[in-house]
Structure 1
């Protein structure tokens, strides 16, 4: 397994762990007119995040990598920020939209590295993640338009 792919996969693992926690924060603390819609949507997203966390870590292990597995490592490795705890509903949606765009961009890098390494299963995993996030970005952007 290429070292560069290991680093990129661990960065994605870190991003998804930060997103998982951020989505719980948003789920618990969203308020206002958008509460019912966003409370449910954030729960859906953190369920999706949990699945990606497991898939990415297991993929890393199956190709000879070592997944990072501590909060300290996640926060050091992630390219997205954790929630600050004071976001309003609209800011939560905007932040998630930007976070998803970041993960999409970085997923493209993983896909290219995996394909260069003839690792189609890893590329396929991230093609699926990317497609899901592109739809989320479209829907969240329409929601706050």
Structure 2
């Protein structure tokens, strides 16, 4: 019986899975940052940002699931503990901040980090002809670039 990677026609996906786990951990910290931003935002933009942060964390939760399922599809094991997330994430925890504009700036920084990680995955996935991961990263990048543009327009 063939392995899943043989059925999918993929070369060794180990490096892709490692980078996907790094992305997964970073998404989890980003998600938790957004939850805190949603709960704690204050200022003139409260109503706008309270809803926007909720929209963004719901989107992040969906992306977390997609990344974890991609890792499983490639025969890997997704990270699943906060300890692993904090150790692996390229996004830092944002704590004790409630100023709306600073939270938007932190969100832009977090998204920029995610986009960078997704771009780093592209040549690795290309190397093993992993079209599924390439398509996923392309979709994420397009959507997140638009979100960065919109958030940036809000604060500039």
What's the TM-score, normalizing by structure 1?
A: 0.97
Q: Which runs of 5+ in 2 are unaligned?
A: 1-11
Does the CA contact (< 8 Å) of 2:42 and 2:98 recur in 1?
no
Offset of 1:6 from its aligned partner? 1.4
For the pair shown, the structure with the greater C-alpha radius of gyration is: 2
Q: Does 1:79 align with 2:90?
A: yes
Offset of 1:105 from its aligned partner? 1.1
Offset of 1:5 from its aligned partner? 1.2
Offset of 1:43 from its aligned partner? 0.4
CA RMSD of aligned residues (A): 0.9
Provide the residue aligned with 2:100 in structure 1: 89
Provide the residue aligned with 1:10 in structure 2: 21
What is the number of equivalent residue pairs in this alignment? 145
Offset of 1:10 from its aligned partner? 0.3
Moved over 2 A (4+): none
Offset of 1:86 from its aligned partner? 2.3
Q: Which runs of 5+ in 1 are unaligned?
A: none
Distance in 2, matches of 1:75 and 1:9, equals: 15
Distance in 1, matches of 2:35 and 2:94, equals: 10
Instruction: Choose which of 116, 135, 150 in structure 2 pairs with 1:124.
Output: 135
